[in-house]
Homo-oligomer: A and B are copies of this chain.
Amino acid sequence: MLEQLRAIVGDKGLITDPGEMEPWITDWRQRRRGQALCVVSPATTAEVSAVVALCAAEGQPVFPVGGNTGLCFGAVPESDRQGKIGVVLSLRRLNRIRAVDQATGIATVDAGVVLGDLHEAAVRAGRQFPLHLGSEGSAQIGGLISTNAGGTGVVRYGPMRDLVAGLEIVLADGRVLCDLAGLRKDNTGYMLRHLFIGAEGTLGIITGAALRLHPQTPNTAHAWVSVVDPAAAVSLLTALQGRAGSYIQAFELVSASQFELVRRHEERVRIPFAEIPAWSLLIELGSEDATTALNGILEEVLGAALESGGIIDAIMAASEQQAADFWHVRHSVSEANKKEGIGIVHDVAVRTSDAAAFIAAADKVAAERFPQAVTQVVCHLGDGNVHYILMFQREFWNSLADEDAFALEVERAIHDAAAVFEGTFSAEHGVGRKLTQELERLADPLRYELMGRVKALFDPQNLMNPGVLLTAKAV
């Protein structure tokens, strides 16, 4: 098997040394470790096809990996079959930007292209690729599509799904399904590509993509706003949507407890408020037109909300530097939380109109069942995505008999609170290996059954990233 793989990808494309394989079989936070026969890195779609066909013939599991930046262990190679350890398939050598078509607004790229490199290529063409997240310096396009990545810009541009105009996929039998024409309109039957977006590598290997570019929006306005409560934040969002909805590029709600941790742990962050508000919002508007008075629009909407009592205070960014400082607060959340203690982060989404009620319900559950926790909210309110966090001090955590069981108990309680509002427990992070049991528990049984049948249709041997997304029982 190894020699056959070497014949396909050459020496440069094969790692078999256990020490060298280590970073490929461990998730980046080093919380979970798998094992692999080898790491194979094809340099072309044809090589991916040959590798996958070989694995299919040998009944060998294939574990695809992009930048290994996921949060749900979807890229950790864990085989559930006796004696079938499997092959890690890295897309890193498939890293060409194949074409940028300015008139059509499409970039066609290999799956292994790093997001930051795509950002630069888009800017060189006078456009932008509007997906932004913390790991953009290492996250790869294929992984971002396979997990339907989100971020703060979803309110304007949608998640990765909305930015994909075509895919090239190596199917479980090695055949290549190519749909890279990049057409905006195509009504010739079932749109299969959407099955692979967010499938976390369980239906096939994405090797290329046609991606939508957007105009740049150099004109921006920013405000940090102190709001009475989450309901007032939703009212402000609704008003802003009516006045300038398509200009909203971020609408981020942060609780005082979260803001406080940033102040405590991130000394270089400039806090815009003298006193940290109970709830605050970071708002960004943007336009490609320099003459549109975005600050004026924002002041007008905030002024009306101040009068009606929904908001308490608002600070507008007076310069690009101040806008960057505003974002620095928001972007410091993860680091601050890491320093504080053990945070159980949830990736819930509900309808925006239910966000305030969900937060209240989660607070109630947390206070009753987990009084040891301080709760924090970081919420992409514009798209209803609430990262509800229970923060535990290390001392308490270390006193637990079984941390994993406790964490699961916390997660289930918050997921149940979301389910009351028809909310999801996985808004933008995916399911991976972390949440397969939760998916089985919470998914509509009919939908879950159909997912199993779709999996069986595209991957009858269950060799594509087995153990991710669906439990062994479901496939």
Q: Is A264 an interface residue (CB 8 A)?
A: no
CA distance A191 to B183 in the complex (A): 21
Q: Is A431 an interface residue (CB 8 A)?
A: yes
Contact (Cβ within 8 A) A192 B424: no
Q: Which among B179, B189, B198, B247 is the interface contact of A191 at CB below 8 angstroms?
A: B198
Q: Which among B102, B188, B424 is the interface contact of A424 at CB below 8 angstroms?
A: B188
Contact (Cβ within 8 A) A191 B187: no
CB distance from A281 to the nearest CB of B (A): 15
Q: Which among B159, B182, B439 is the interface contact of A351 at CB below 8 angstroms?
A: B182
Contact (Cβ within 8 A) A185 B351: no
Q: Is A430 an interface residue (CB 8 A)?
A: yes
Contact (Cβ within 8 A) B352 A181: no
Hey, what's the 0/1 contact readout for A216-239 against B, CB within 8 Å counting as 1? 110000000000000000110110
CA distance A292 to B194 in the complex (A): 36
CA distance A101 to B243 in the complex (A): 17
Q: Is A252 an interface residue (CB 8 A)?
A: no
CA distance A293 to B293 in the complex (A): 10
Q: Which among B182, B384, B425, B429 is the interface contact of A184 at CB below 8 angstroms?
A: B384
CA distance A287 to B234 in the complex (A): 22
Contacts of A422 in B (CB 8 A): 180-181, 183
Contact (Cβ within 8 A) A187 B429: yes
Q: Is A81 an interface residue (CB 8 A)?
A: no
Among A37-45, A320-328, A444-452, the stretch in contact with B:
A444-452
Instruction: Count copies of this chain in the complex.
Output: 2
Q: Is A7 an interface residue (CB 8 A)?
A: no
Contacts of A451 in B (CB 8 A): 189-190, 192
CA distance A148 to B189 in the complex (A): 10
Contact (Cβ within 8 A) A353 B184: no
Q: Is A147 an interface residue (CB 8 A)?
A: yes
Contacts of A198 in B (CB 8 A): 187, 189-191
Contact (Cβ within 8 A) A104 B384: yes
Contacts of A246 in B (CB 8 A): 214-215, 217, 246, 287-288
Contact (Cβ within 8 A) B191 A439: no
Q: Is A16 an interface residue (CB 8 A)?
A: no
Contact (Cβ within 8 A) A385 B199: no
CA distance A423 to B241 in the complex (A): 36
Q: Is A469 an interface residue (CB 8 A)?
A: yes
Contact (Cβ within 8 A) B288 A447: no
Q: Is A150 an interface residue (CB 8 A)?
A: yes
Q: Is A453 an interface residue (CB 8 A)?
A: yes
Contact (Cβ within 8 A) B185 A238: no
Q: Which among B178, B192, B426, B450 is the interface contact of A186 at CB below 8 angstroms?
A: B426
Size range of the chain A interface in the assembly: 35 or more
Contact (Cβ within 8 A) A189 B457: no
Contact (Cβ within 8 A) A103 B353: yes
Contacts of A247 in B (CB 8 A): 289
In the complex where A191-B197, A241-B105 touch, is A185 in contact with B159 (Cβ < 8 A)?
yes
CA distance A358 to B234 in the complex (A): 48
CA distance A186 to B150 in the complex (A): 10
Contact (Cβ within 8 A) A234 B103: yes
Q: Which among B162, B187, B455 is the interface contact of A147 at CB below 8 angstroms?
A: B187
Contacts of A244 in B (CB 8 A): 215, 288-289
Q: Is A209 an interface residue (CB 8 A)?
A: no
Contact (Cβ within 8 A) A190 B183: no
Q: Is A291 an interface residue (CB 8 A)?
A: yes
Q: Is A18 an interface residue (CB 8 A)?
A: no
Q: Is A349 an interface residue (CB 8 A)?
A: yes
Contacts of A318 in B (CB 8 A): none
Q: Is A317 an interface residue (CB 8 A)?
A: no
Contact (Cβ within 8 A) A181 B351: yes
Contacts of A447 in B (CB 8 A): 177, 179, 192
CA distance A353 to B203 in the complex (A): 32
Inter-chain pairs besides A103-B353, A185-B385, A187-B426, 10 sampled, C-beta below 8 Å: A175-B446, A183-B349, A185-B383, A188-B425, A188-B442, A189-B199, A190-B195, A190-B199, A192-B454, A291-B292
6 contacts between A and B (CB under 8 A): A103-B237, A127-B242, A187-B198, A187-B429, A187-B431, A190-B454
- Residues on A lying within 8 angstroms of B by beta carbon are 101-106, 126-127, 147-148, 150, 154-155, 158-159, 161-162, 171, 175-192, 194-195, 197-199, 203, 214-217, 234-235, 237-238, 241-247, 287-289, 291-293, 296-297, 349-354, 380, 383-385, 422-431, 439, 442-444, 446-447, 450-451, 453-455, 457, 469-470
